[in-house]
Structure 1
Amino acid sequence: MGELRDRRAQKKAQTREHVRTVAQRMFAEGGFDAVTIADVAREADVAVQTVFNHFATKEELFFDGRLPWVDAPAEAVRTRAEGVSPLTALRRHLVAGAGHFVALQLSEETASFTAALAACPDLAAYEQRVLYEAELRLGACLAEAWATDPEPGAGRGLAPEIAAPLTAAMWLTASRVVLVEQRRLAAHRGDAAAVAAEVERLLDQVLATMQARFGTPLEAGRRADTGWPPVDMRRAG
């Protein structure tokens, strides 16, 4: 019985991989909007329902296997080595990942993926939802980590339930900004290794600065200046 279950699971995984490979090739060749699920099923020689058994939406099919960063940042924090702080583990992961992904930008497959995102609002919206899910997972993981392993120097900072989701959003956004800008530059430069190294350097600098400022309180006796009331009104008062 166990052997039968294993064979079924293997066959299911093979079918899923086959459908994904066929679909993503078709999307790259014909465009995401122009290719239907029925087209994919016909090309993959499976029933339409088989496609839906594995992928709930066409957007999910497009992104499948292309979103390792959804779980990976949280996993990097969760599996950090002893003695490594949560933010140090996260910074190392994001920097290494940024260099790897930018190095892929000059490949034909990645170029078609990026072009499809730019041309299709539905795909862009799906990516934003996935990005938000990544933030939620990372924020929850950071809060859990800091409950027993507080970040050095953060004793007087924000409460974890506020600091964790805020940090997740800021760090992932910073990584994305650096990646997107360097992805634009990569399109005009042939040396992918040099671009990747520059991305790693820039992102490490940005995140190291953010980490150094994490939890740093305002100087004693000084309030944050919100700009209100204006200076002239303060003087008049």
Structure 2
Amino acid sequence: MGDLGDRRARKKAATRELIRTTAHRLFAQHGFDTITIADVAREADVVVQTVFNHFATKEELFFDGRAFWVDGPATAVRDRPAGVDVLSALRSHLLRFIATDLGSLCTAEQRGYRATVSASETLRMYERGLVFEAEYRLADALRESWADDAEFGHVVPSDPATSAPLTAALWLAAARVLVVENRLRVADGHPAAEVAANAEELADRLLGRMQAGSAAVTDLRTPLSTPARTRDRRVS
């Protein structure tokens, strides 16, 4: 039964990868909005239901394997080395993300991916939802991880429930603005490597100042009790 289960798992993974690579190729060639799930299924030689067995929506299929940044900040905070404070871990991660994202624009594949997103209002809306999801996940990680920071003598917020979502929103917004604005510079013809290096240097200064002045956020305390947070109550 073990071998049979392994074969089934490998076959399922191979089918998923075939659907994803086929879809990404079609989206790159013809645009996201003009390609249907039926087109993807036909090109991959599977039935439509097989596509939906792996991907709930066409948008999910498009971003599959391309949105590591949704979990990245939260993972960087949770998996930081012992003794490294939360904001230092987050700062290091965002600097790497900015440099990598902008540097990758030297490839035709990445430029095509960004052009496809820009050309589709549906994808832009979906990506905005992913941005909010990244903030939610980072806020959860900050709330959990600040408790660990206290054990190492690091300064922690007086009210993590208030400071966590504010920190997540401010830091991710800063990184996002730097990435989006500098993508335009690459589109205008500036070398991607040069733009990435300049953006990383600017981000290091900006995030450094935000970290140094973090007390403006971490000292906040709400006079009201904090309501229970559940995903279905979050409103973006």
- 1:61-72 to 2 correspondences below 5 Å: 61-72=61-72
For residues 152 and 109 of structure 1, the distance between their equivalents in structure 2, rounded to whole angstroms, comes to 46
- The two structures, once aligned, show a CA RMSD in angstroms of 1.7
Q: Which consecutive unaligned segments of at least 5 residues does structure 1 have?
A: 218-237
Asked whether the 8 Å contact 1:85–1:149 carries over to 2, the reply is yes
Structure with the higher fraction of residues in helix conformation: 2
Asked whether the 8 Å contact 2:149–2:155 carries over to 1, the reply is no
For residues 177 and 20 of structure 1, the distance between their equivalents in structure 2, rounded to whole angstroms, comes to 29
Distance 1:42 1:206, change over 3 A: same
Which stretch of structure 1 is more off in the superposition, 110-119 or 16-25?
Answer: 110-119
How big is each residue's C-alpha offset from its partner over 1:129-160, in whole Å with a ceiling of 9 and x where there is no partner? 111111111000001111231497745x5510
**In structure 1, what is the equivalent of residue 170 of structure 2?**
170
**In structure 2, what is the equivalent of residue 137 of structure 1?**
137
**In structure 1, what is the equivalent of residue 121 of structure 2?**
121
Percent of aligned pairs with the same amino acid: 52
**In structure 2, what is the equivalent of residue 28 of structure 1?**
28
Asked whether the 8 Å contact 1:158–1:215 carries over to 2, the reply is no
**Is 1:55 equivalent to 2:55 in the alignment?**
yes
Asked whether the 8 Å contact 1:154–1:216 carries over to 2, the reply is no
**In structure 1, what is the equivalent of residue 182 of structure 2?**
182
Task: Report the CA distance between 1:192 and its aligned residue.
Answer: 2.4
Asked whether the 8 Å contact 1:153–1:216 carries over to 2, the reply is no
**In structure 1, what is the equivalent of residue 224 of structure 2?**
none
TM-score by length of 1: 0.86
TM-score by length of 2: 0.87
For residues 154 and 82 of structure 2, the distance between their equivalents in structure 1, rounded to whole angstroms, comes to 18
How big is each residue's C-alpha offset from its partner over 1:37-83, in whole Å with a ceiling of 9 and x where there is no partner? 00000000011000000000000111110000111111101111111
Tell me the SS of whatever aligns to 1:38: helix
**In structure 1, what is the equivalent of residue 96 of structure 2?**
96
Q: How many pairs were matched up? A: 216
Task: Report the CA distance between 1:190 and its aligned residue.
Answer: 5.0
